[in-house]
């Protein structure tokens, strides 16, 4: 009898453990389907982003999303994300110890097919069509058309390029994003994307010097066949 009771106790423990594992699997599947369910505690609006301090259970995190209207106390759902540490918002004059640039966010569960794309250097004012301009390369520099057609020759090399600013987004991923054209092209490639800490304005004719990086992929749609990275603005 004593052995039978011991056996039943062991069997009951095993069944309880199995049920617990099933619950864990269901929870994991639910998270995979719906993403994170969070409560908005604080909202900060900036030029390019809306920053949300959210809680999920006992966990707290800052999210950066494309500018949106949301009130503290709201329940939001998000999936994915790109984590940035010690991210400085110049608009807010604040450095976040950690901020998550989310892939999708919505007031509805992700399973409902709702969602908003995360902030991107391509958002905002669209890059214009090819401009009918003619800007000569700076002395010792190269045209955008030649850079594109001979890109492998310039990989990881520092070059100078002169062009007109056709698109500008500041403070994205802790850098400013600039698109320039000079009137030259290599097929459909007539635009050069530049990352910099310097500031410019739309319509400015500028000279940038920086390293050429090929096939740069930051994740979350930040992918570039040709990128001038960490460029410096050169004065005429």
Give the model's pLDDT for residue 111. Answer: 61
Locate the domains of the chain by residue range: 35-117, 144-234
Buried b (16+ CB within 10 A) or exposed e, 26-54: eeeeeeeebbbbbbbeebbeeebbbbbbb
- Asked whether the beta carbons of 81 and 109 are under 8 A apart, the reply is no
CATH architecture of 144-234: Beta Barrel (2.40)
Q: pLDDT for 164-175, tens place per residue?
A: 998 887 877 778
> In which residue are the tokens 């199995």 written?
18
Q: pLDDT for 137-163, tens place per residue?
A: 999 999 999 999 999 999 999 999 999
Give the model's pLDDT for residue 55. Answer: 96
């Amino acid at each position: 009898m004593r052995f039978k009771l011991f056996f039943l106790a062991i069997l009951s423990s095993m069944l309880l453990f199995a049920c617990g594992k099933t619950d864990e699997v269901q929870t994991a599947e639910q998270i995979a389907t719906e993403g994170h369910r969070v409560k908005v505690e604080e909202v900060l609006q900036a030029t390019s982003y809306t920053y949300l301090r959210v809680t999920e259970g006992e966990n707290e995190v800052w999210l950066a999303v494309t500018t949106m209207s949301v009130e503290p106390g709201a329940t939001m759902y998000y999936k994915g994300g790109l984590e940035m540490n010690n991210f400085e918002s110049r608009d807010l004059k604040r450095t976040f110890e950690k901020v998550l640039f989310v892939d999708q966010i919505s007031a509805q569960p992700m399973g409902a097919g709702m969602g908003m794309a995360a902030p991107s250097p391509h958002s905002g004012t669209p890059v214009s069509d090819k401009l009918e301009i003619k800007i000569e390369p700076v002395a010792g520099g190269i045209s955008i058309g030649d850079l594109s057609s001979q890109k492998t020759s310039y990989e990881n090399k520092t070059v100078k390029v002169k062009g007109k600013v056709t698109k500008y987004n500041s403070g994205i991923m802790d850098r400013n994003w600039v698109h320039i054209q000079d009137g030259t092209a290599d097929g459909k490639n007539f635009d050069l994307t530049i990352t910099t800490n310097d500031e410019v304005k739309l319509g400015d004719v500028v000279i940038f010097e920086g390293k050429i990086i090929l096939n740069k992929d930051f994740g979350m749609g930040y992918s570039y066949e040709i990128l001038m990275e960490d460029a410096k603005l050169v004065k005429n």
